[in-house]
Structure 1
């Protein structure tokens, strides 16, 4: 196991009815800006519930944050924060809204060009406004981590950033808020959480059995509840398990002390930026081919993954690894998330622009070994056609 520092200050309020605890979680003298995406938060009554819980505090709203939050939209929120003297932010939505709120929290008090936050990956963030979240879509784990991804549509650039200053102070996780989600978003959420775990687990043996077993437990849970989450939208226990699994998948715990990959995510970001695919769709396209391309380097962990998650115990190491990858791809398809570029009307002619964009953003040495080059990514995309 590698040396590591683990820090996570986010308070979690989990369970039905926990939105009411906003009255204790948000400072009583706060001037609050509630940020959200589309009108579903209002239509389902969640915004009214949030506003009611905030009581007599001064509350204003900012809506319209996209599924892949854009720099352009978020800068409008930054302007509103500055104009109105907002001192507390509250994200109501899924990972995109929370990611966007993290950027607003940092950008609103940033000195200089706010785009530099993304260009420097958040390393230049020195402070941020306090904020919390009410999670309505389990998927990204943004509700309990210090990372976010923002797209600048004018440049077709989707870039991540990280900072200890953008941990949410708290996150409210009420599984009943997921009951009205479209099935597409539920399937995406399962895939998103699954690949988050895989990026931290499917690397090479690091003599970290605790992290391995944590990761395998999360993967097994997603396999066990994935179909059920789609078939039984108001099954509280299933939705609760999905919500908590997605949070634990990326709150820093299972990745502490072990090598991490993230090549699939970086290539997936380019697919979203150029073609506006859902984040989970890009992961479902890239991951199976990325694992096949890097099978030799990941063989030991692939065999372990196949045995412990998919109960694959027969055949050569190569055969077991391939069977594990095939099981993974089939699982994504079962959830309604397609795994080929052609499923999204993308073909050979789209590959070179993706590679060029990857190079333009400096993504030329990815993966746990730094050996995932643009040429490797090109082969991965070709295998994903």
Structure 2
């Protein structure tokens, strides 16, 4: 093991914690509150934010969509520059927080903010950012990466910088009460795959990292088995905490990581509009089957430690599929509206983006991606 781990985000976890944002935002700062489609006005979050920001100078920007688009976000960048905003407060799920990471970086950059996404430029400075999480899934509230879509070119890319870590993140599980089943299921699948990307590779020497990942996976599996309790405070509290820990950077420190499911999934979402978690669920089982020789040792370990199943790595993949399906998330691309160019579109996009050697060993080639997609399309 050889790694540096750094996470500067202060976590305020628990009911009523939204009021704590005043401890992190100086009243002299001009604040832009960024949110999505307006659900925060139905669940009471907006009113709590408004109360907390009494005495502050603040503006708001709404309309950040799921899979936040460059086109929408650049409208907010203009507001930040024109109004001389000092602090951005993201109020929402991973899309709003990801979008706000783009905002704080692009607002202090003279060029096209997409430069950060295509890799031609690195973030040199950023405005301070805070987050109030309303939809647990991505862990974006306490990590340094963001995924942004460009509608004009059907691209979905990511960037990362320690400069865009939120200064604080409020995790109040009580705000989850208005989430629908699709959002809860997506959050569970998202967190599970995030953990798998850092765990389902090949054996490593860290007992702590494997044990920690297995605890997260067991917890999420337990929530799926208790899906009927998804409306309870205890269930939702656990999902919020598990999703945060799945991608705050620690379990991936010093161990091999995969992320091929995400790279393929991003392209599916860019072309066909699937939710992020849905795109992961239709890729992961078939990727595991295609790469089973590379992953069988960790699949065996996962079967024993997470699912308490016999030593059969093929059955573990079936268990993962069953878990997703049991909470209403399909594991077949054929369940969604696509076209007969899926394989061509996805492999071509990956090639264009230089992603021709994916996975922890760099051996998931485009022909293997095509095979994965073909398996997912078959009924």
- For normalisation by structure 2, the TM-score amounts to 0.97
User: Is 1:67 aligned to 2:79, yes or no?
Assistant: no
**Which stretch of the first structure deviates more once superposed, 76-85 or 42-51?**
42-51
1:189 corresponding residue in structure 2: 187
Mapped partners of 2:242, 2:68: distance in 1: 23
Correspondence list, 1:213-228, <5 A: 213-228=211-226
Q: Deviations over 1:220-273 (max 9, x none)?
A: 000111353x43344222111110100000001100110000000000000000
1:58 corresponding residue in structure 2: 57
CA positional deviation for 1:311: 1.1
User: Is 1:105 aligned to 2:104, yes or no?
Assistant: yes
Equivalent residue for 1:295, pick from 287, 292, 299: 292
1:269 corresponding residue in structure 2: 266
SS at match of 2:32: strand
Mapped partners of 1:233, 1:179: distance in 2: 10
Structure 2 contact 68–99 (Cα < 8 Å) conserved = yes
Correspondence list, 1:112-127, <5 A: 112-120=111-119, 124-127=122-125
Mapped partners of 2:82, 2:340: distance in 1: 48
1:366 corresponding residue in structure 2: 358
CA positional deviation for 1:111: 2.9
Structure 1 contact 51–59 (Cα < 8 Å) conserved = no
User: Is 1:306 aligned to 2:298, yes or no?
Assistant: no
- The runs of 5 or more residues in structure 2 that have no matched partner are none
Mapped partners of 2:2, 2:85: distance in 1: 40
2:43 corresponding residue in structure 1: 44
**Which stretch of the first structure deviates more once superposed, 43-52 or 80-89?**
43-52
Equivalent residue for 2:138, pick from 140, 144, 148: 140
Structure 1 contact 69–150 (Cα < 8 Å) conserved = yes
Structure 1 contact 348–382 (Cα < 8 Å) conserved = no
Runs of 4+ in 1 over 4 A off after TM superposition: none
Structure 1 contact 176–234 (Cα < 8 Å) conserved = no
SS at match of 2:74: helix
Structure 1 contact 23–55 (Cα < 8 Å) conserved = no
CA positional deviation for 1:349: 3.5
1:11 corresponding residue in structure 2: 10
1:248 corresponding residue in structure 2: 245
**Which stretch of the first structure deviates more once superposed, 305-314 or 266-275?**
305-314
Q: Deviations over 1:282-322 (max 9, x none)?
A: 000000000000000111111101111111224xxxxx110
- For normalisation by structure 1, the TM-score amounts to 0.96
Structure 2 contact 272–337 (Cα < 8 Å) conserved = no
SS at match of 2:201: coil
What is the number of equivalent residue pairs in this alignment?
Answer: 377
- The runs of 5 or more residues in structure 1 that have no matched partner are 315-319
Mapped partners of 1:112, 1:354: distance in 2: 29
